[in-house]
Chains A and B, each alone.
Chain A
Amino acid sequence: MPALRIVLHKTLNTLLFTLVTALLLAQALPVREYQLKAVFLFNFTQFVDWPASSFATEQSPLVIGILGENPFGSYLEETVSDEKVKGHSVVVHYFKNTEEIKICHILFINLAETKKREQAAETLKGRNVLTVSDAIDFLKQGGMIRFFTRDNKIKLQINPEASKAANLVLSSKLLRLADIFDPSKNN
């Protein structure tokens, strides 16, 4: 009965794989919120295409910016150190306020005041910057990706209209895994 043996073998393999994954995830406890968010920010570089024009040269680094207070400590720098994305090294820059923002590909906005966030969104209009924040109404204000937690797990909400407007191409995989923001329904 070779067919039965194959089925058994496959079942065992699946079980083993599930067990290993479960053990791996169980050991994941505890992970710090911003440690995980730092990895998410870095991962976005794999799922977003920036226009070539957003890099000065082919060797120019990909810049992840933090606007406002830095909640990551050293996590973000530890995540991106020694990493390359399509030939570009990855660096982290910190900006106190909107005026300081220069070249930047991903911007994590951590400003408490709604007005300042709106001001940042206004300044970034037309530039190829992927904007990310924890703020509840961030997507309504023209932001692209919002982190939120459900059952103590980090989830994503995405505003595809906003990323399209900034000439960024988000992979379908990223969009499939995230909650999609629909401006017509949430107003």
Chain B
Amino acid sequence: MNNSVTGKRVHNPVPASAIFFFLFSLLLITYPGQAQDTLLSFRTLKKLSLEELMSIEVISVSKRMEKLITAPSAIQVITGEDIRRSGATSIAEALRLADNIQIGQKNAHDWAITARGFNTDLANKLLVLIDGRTVYIPLFSGVFWDRQDYLLEDIDRIEVISGPGGTLWGSNAVNGVINIITKSSKDTQGLYLETGGGTELRHFTGLRYGGMLSSKISYRVYGKYFDRDNSVFPDGNDAPDSWQMGQTGFRMEANLSSKNAFTFQGDYYNGELGLSTGGKTKVTGGNILCRWTHTFSDNSYTSLQMYYDRTYLAQPVPESRSGDNTFVLAPAGMLKDGLNTYDFDFQHHFRLGKLHRIVWGLGYRNTHDKVQSAPALAFSPSVLSRNLFSGFVQDEIMLMKNFSFILGSKVEHNDYTGFEFEPNARIQVNISNKQTLWGAVSRAVRIPSRVDRDIRLPTPAFSPIIDNILIGGANFKSETLIAYELGYRAQLGSKVSGSIAAFYNHYNHVRSTSLSPPPATLGFPLFYENNLKGETYGFELSITCQVVDWWRLRSGYNLLREDIRVKTGKTDFNNALNETADPPHRFSLRSSMGLPQNIELEVGLRWVDVFHYNNSGVQATVSNYVEAGIRLAWQPTKRVEISVVGQNLLNNRHTEYVISKPNPPTEIERSIYGKIICRL
């Protein structure tokens, strides 16, 4: 392994005190001292005509946010406005705005993202949905963050729920759920154009047009393209992993009456991603979704949703070599994979009497996966079709005015392990309308994926003595979690709100790697079993302070402790190191300011503790780091916005994550870009 990943950094780490000093001096310099300017006075408002009043945009002190204070789970919401103000350029970057999510950028186009730990190379315990469409890939049991994109301007919000969500969302919602929700086409009317470029994000352009087909049918179409620069190897040379991608899509909504609403939307993307090991991956895919919502009354509505999703990749797989690098075990080649998903989902929300609020639903999903194997990476069988049937019911019982009890379960049937149950029980105590205490016990499962069952790392050079280095486990079963959670949310006065969520998770049947028993040669092939178990615990703390109308401060701290071990009498080739790569402490601070003359200044700071990952059964380390970003924006008129954004400013380059061999480690460079937005 390279020296640079064991903590020997080329440059001096910046002491935390220096950063705080820097940030606070920045805040002091820009203190405008005339807070009233940014709020229109009543006198001015009263002079406006009705038409003018109707054309003023309001800060939505929305029902949604009020609801958030009373939500009985560890949910955080990133609004579209938060994303715009942050200067984030991808969904993965936008997710850094939630304090309860753990992110490490691997290279120019890959991120390791999870909640509450288990952030392995193919992090597999987080379920991600975009407008109700799951983007969790059953091939690699994870999310390809490099092909989940949207025109960020048109994202309404991202709900980030840490903790299990199996009852409502189903299998693989083990450690958390991310819901990316795009805006209604009614809210994206008119022309939007953005363009810009910089040192890492070399060029980007986005375009959207929204209109009305009639007074009840609205639509939008959009397209975007970007070109990102390489990351660098620890020696400072370019890693050839630049990234070019284009995406286009549409959304149409018809609110035919106050009772029936239809949504019809689709996206298509196509891109090329360089690999640090050489060559380029080609990805292409798209989806089409329709949803019908029918409202019976204030207290009862149903939604019926269907979608089709296809994603395809063609990726060069480098040759595999023996541990001492002397033999070529398998030559280089291409892995191609096409995955088709057909999904059907029905939900009904209604009230039963005064006490019960019930939601139930039925779902069916078919995934059809076709792999063309590379010499060094294969799946057997190459073509596989899987069915997933599910049903769930959850009842929220208002036992007393301020006390609710929530009970529910999902039942699923999958082709790997048969029936799975994901029940949860929650209590919610509204101490006042400004304070909520909640607790929950839940069970969640991660069902086997094709990696767990079907993967092969063939060694044709050694056949027939050794056919494969690693194969999937024929008997690999579901990983399970029992989670205990306790949380508290409060609005303290008019300026400060905060939340804390503590958890104790008990995992069982977690993935391990075993040696084959004799007569297998030298224990090969290795194969997957479920020989690990263990506990994790910690808490997520988040505090927001609206210091004055034009200045908001937000801070988050996370603690995560893990004890994952091999079950008594069992073995793991990786010594229980392979499933975790998680910093025990993380801290973030973000300042958002709306200054006079329509200037916005945003400063974000994050500190990530040292963490350990698996290097062929031996513990390796990624050093801790502090990073910061700044966005300065000016809106000369309502239609134009000009901004300059600096990202990862504190280090020339830094390591956030190391992918297992044969991928060499890469580092993320300091970057800056400029952007112009035009709204017509």
On A, residues with C-beta under 8 Å from B are 22-23, 25-36, 39-40, 42-43, 47, 75, 78-79, 114, 136-137, 140, 149-156, 173-174, 177, 185-186
Contacts of B57 in A (CB 8 A): 28-31, 151-153
Please give the distance in Å from A80's CB to the nearest CB on chain B: 10
A-B Cβ contacts below 8 A, count: 104
Contacts of B55 in A (CB 8 A): 25, 153
Interface centre among B38, B56, B62, B257 (most CB of A within 10 A): B56
B298 touches A35 (CB 8 A): no
**Of B48, B61, B637, which one neighbours A22 at CB under 8 angstroms?**
B637
21 contacts between A and B (CB under 8 A): A22-B638, A25-B638, A28-B56, A29-B594, A30-B38, A30-B594, A32-B58, A32-B61, A35-B45, A36-B58, A40-B53, A43-B46, A43-B50, A136-B298, A140-B258, A149-B58, A150-B187, A151-B57, A151-B186, A151-B187, A173-B50
Please give the distance in Å from B327's CB to the nearest CB on chain A: 64
B1 within 8 A of A: no
Interface size bracket, B side: 20 to 34
- Top 8 A-B residue pairs of the complex, sorted by shortest distance between their CB atoms: A26-B638, A33-B58, A30-B59, A152-B57, A39-B45, A28-B56, A28-B40, A186-B258
B42 within 8 A of A: yes
Closest-by-CB residue of B relative to A40 is B53
A30 touches B46 (CB 8 A): no
B3 within 8 A of A: no
Q: How far is it, in angstroms, between the C-alpha of A28 and the C-alpha of B45 when the chains are bound?
A: 9
Within 8 A of A (CB), among B41-55: 42, 45-46, 48, 50-55
Interface centre among B39, B50, B60, B639 (most CB of A within 10 A): B50
Contacts of B62 in A (CB 8 A): 33
Closest-by-CB residue of B relative to A177 is B50
Knowing A23-B637, A32-B58, A42-B46 are in contact, say whether A137-B298 is a contact too (CB < 8 A): yes
Please give the distance in Å from B306's CB to the nearest CB on chain A: 26
B516 within 8 A of A: no
Please give the distance in Å from A30's CB to the nearest CB on chain B: 4
Knowing A39-B45, A114-B298 are in contact, say whether A34-B637 is a contact too (CB < 8 A): no
Closest-by-CB residue of B relative to A46 is B50
Q: How far is it, in angstroms, between the C-alpha of A136 and the C-alpha of B255 when the chains are bound?
A: 14
A25 touches B598 (CB 8 A): no
Please give the distance in Å from A118's CB to the nearest CB on chain B: 11
Knowing A31-B58, A153-B56, A154-B53 are in contact, say whether A36-B45 is a contact too (CB < 8 A): yes
B189 within 8 A of A: yes
B635 within 8 A of A: yes
Q: How far is it, in angstroms, between the C-alpha of A19 and the C-alpha of B605 when the chains are bound?
A: 38
Closest-by-CB residue of B relative to A112 is B298
Q: How far is it, in angstroms, between the C-alpha of A31 and the C-alpha of B598 when the chains are bound?
A: 14
A33 touches B56 (CB 8 A): no
Within 8 A of A (CB), among B583-635: 594, 598, 635
Please give the distance in Å from A69's CB to the nearest CB on chain B: 9
B638 touches A43 (CB 8 A): no
Closest-by-CB residue of B relative to A19 is B637
Contacts of B54 in A (CB 8 A): 153-156, 177
Q: How far is it, in angstroms, between the C-alpha of A163 and the C-alpha of B61 when the chains are bound?
A: 29
Please give the distance in Å from B59's CB to the nearest CB on chain A: 4
Q: How far is it, in angstroms, between the C-alpha of A149 and the C-alpha of B63 when the chains are bound?
A: 12
Q: How far is it, in angstroms, between the C-alpha of A149 and the C-alpha of B298 when the chains are bound?
A: 18
Contacts of A36 in B (CB 8 A): 45, 53, 56, 58
Closest-by-CB residue of B relative to A42 is B46
Please give the distance in Å from A76's CB to the nearest CB on chain B: 10
Q: How far is it, in angstroms, between the C-alpha of A150 and the C-alpha of B212 when the chains are bound?
A: 13
Please give the distance in Å from B374's CB to the nearest CB on chain A: 50
Closest-by-CB residue of B relative to A32 is B59
Contacts of B635 in A (CB 8 A): 26
Q: How far is it, in angstroms, between the C-alpha of A30 and the C-alpha of B298 when the chains are bound?
A: 31
B53 touches A39 (CB 8 A): yes
A78 touches B59 (CB 8 A): no
Contacts of B40 in A (CB 8 A): 27-28, 31
Contacts of A149 in B (CB 8 A): 58, 60
Knowing A25-B52, A177-B50 are in contact, say whether A152-B637 is a contact too (CB < 8 A): no
Q: How far is it, in angstroms, between the C-alpha of A186 and the C-alpha of B260 when the chains are bound?
A: 11
Within 8 A of A (CB), among B1-60: 38-40, 42, 45-46, 48, 50-60
